[in-house]
Amino acid sequence: MLQQYLKDAKVRYCCGTVRPFSQWVLCFKGSVGFHMSQHEFEAVEGILSRHLDKPATGAGGSLDTMRGV
């Protein structure tokens, strides 16, 4: 859905399947890259740590429990 939204909005973007630089996402996921500050990165890592029992591995199914967070 995000890719379609970006196409419709005529936004140039790059995407790929990558393993993010994260202590909580330890699996390859489809991603769209963007810049964030160290403070923003730490805030996202904090959210992941509060909502995941353990880091996401394998197919990353545990990330699905975070919908709507």
Token pair of 51 as six digits: 């909502």
CB 18 within 8 A of CB 28: yes
Q: What's the pLDDT tens digit per position in 6-17?
A: 999 999 888 899
What total number of domains does the chain contain? Answer: 1
Could you tell me the pLDDT band of residue 24, with boundaries at 50, 70 and 90?
A: very high
Integer Cα distance of 52 and 34 in angstroms: 23
Residue 40 lies in a domain: yes
2 C-beta neighbours (distance < 10 Å), count: 10
- pTM recorded for the entire structure: 0.75
Residue 68 lies in a domain: no
Could you tell me the pLDDT band of residue 35, with boundaries at 50, 70 and 90?
A: confident
Residue 33 lies in a domain: yes
Residue 49 lies in a domain: yes
Residue 65 lies in a domain: no
Residue 22 lies in a domain: yes
Token pair of 26 as six digits: 């330890």
Residue 31's domain comprises 2-57
Integer Cα distance of 1 and 7 in angstroms: 10
